[in-house]
Amino acid sequence: MTRDDFIRRCDLFIFGGGGHARVLLDTISLEHPDWVVGILERDPRLFSTEVMGALVLGGDDLISEIVRLKPAARFTIGLGSAADCGPRRSLFERCVAAGLTPGSIRHPTASVSSFACIGPGTQLLPLSIVNAGARVGTNVIINSGAIVEHDCEVSDHAHIASGATLASSVVIGSGAHVGAGASVRQCLRIVAGAIVGAGAAVVRDVDPETVVAGVPARLISERRGHG
The predicted-structure confidence for 147-156, as pLDDT tens digits, reads as follows: 999 999 999 9
Give me the amino acid identity at 108. P
Handedness of CA 127, 15, 13, 72 (dihedral sign): positive
pLDDT of residue 111: 98
Is 139 a residue whose pLDDT tops 70?
Answer: yes
Is 226 a residue whose pLDDT tops 60?
Answer: no
Mean pLDDT of 167-186: 98
Is 97 a residue whose pLDDT tops 60?
Answer: yes
Please provide the DSSP assignment of 62-74 as one string. GHHHHHHHSTT-E
Asked if 78 and 24 touch (Cβ cutoff 8 Å), the reply is: yes
Please provide the distance, in angstroms rounded to a whole number, between the alpha carbons at the two ends of the chain.
43
Q: Give the pLDDT band of residue 225 (cuts 50, 70, 90).
A: low
Beta bridge partners, 77, equal: 15
Q: Is 150 a catalytic residue?
A: yes
**CA-only gyration radius of the chain, Å:** 18
Which of 43-52, 157-166, 218-227 holds the top average pLDDT?
157-166
Beta carbons within 10 angstroms of residue 42's beta carbon: 15
- Mean pLDDT over each residue of the chain, to the nearest integer: 95
Of 20, 31, 29, the closest CA to residue 106 belongs to 31
Q: What percent of the chain has pLDDT over 70?
A: 98
**20, 107, 150, 157: which is the annotated catalytic residue?**
150
Which H helix or E strand runs over 166?
strand 165-166
Cis peptide before 102 (omega within 30 of 0): no
Handedness of CA 176, 80, 20, 64 (dihedral sign): positive
Cα(3)–Cα(160) distance, integer angstroms: 36
Asked if 186 and 201 touch (Cβ cutoff 8 Å), the reply is: no
pLDDT tens, 191-216? 999 999 999 999 999 999 999 999 99
pLDDT of residue 219: 96
Is 8 a residue whose pLDDT tops 70?
Answer: yes
Sheet harboring 37-40: ordered strands across?
A: 50-51, 54-58, 37-40, 12-15, 74-77, 101-102
Q: Give the pLDDT band of residue 227 (cuts 50, 70, 90).
A: very low
Cα(174)–Cα(151) distance, integer angstroms: 17
Please provide the DSSP assignment of 96-121 as one string. HHHT-EE--EE-TT-EE-TTSEE-TT
Cα(16)–Cα(82) distance, integer angstroms: 14
Is 224 a residue whose pLDDT tops 70?
Answer: no
pLDDT of residue 81: 73
Asked if 15 and 78 touch (Cβ cutoff 8 Å), the reply is: yes
Is 30 a residue whose pLDDT tops 60?
Answer: yes
How many contiguous H segments (helices) and E segments (strands) does the chain have?
4, 25
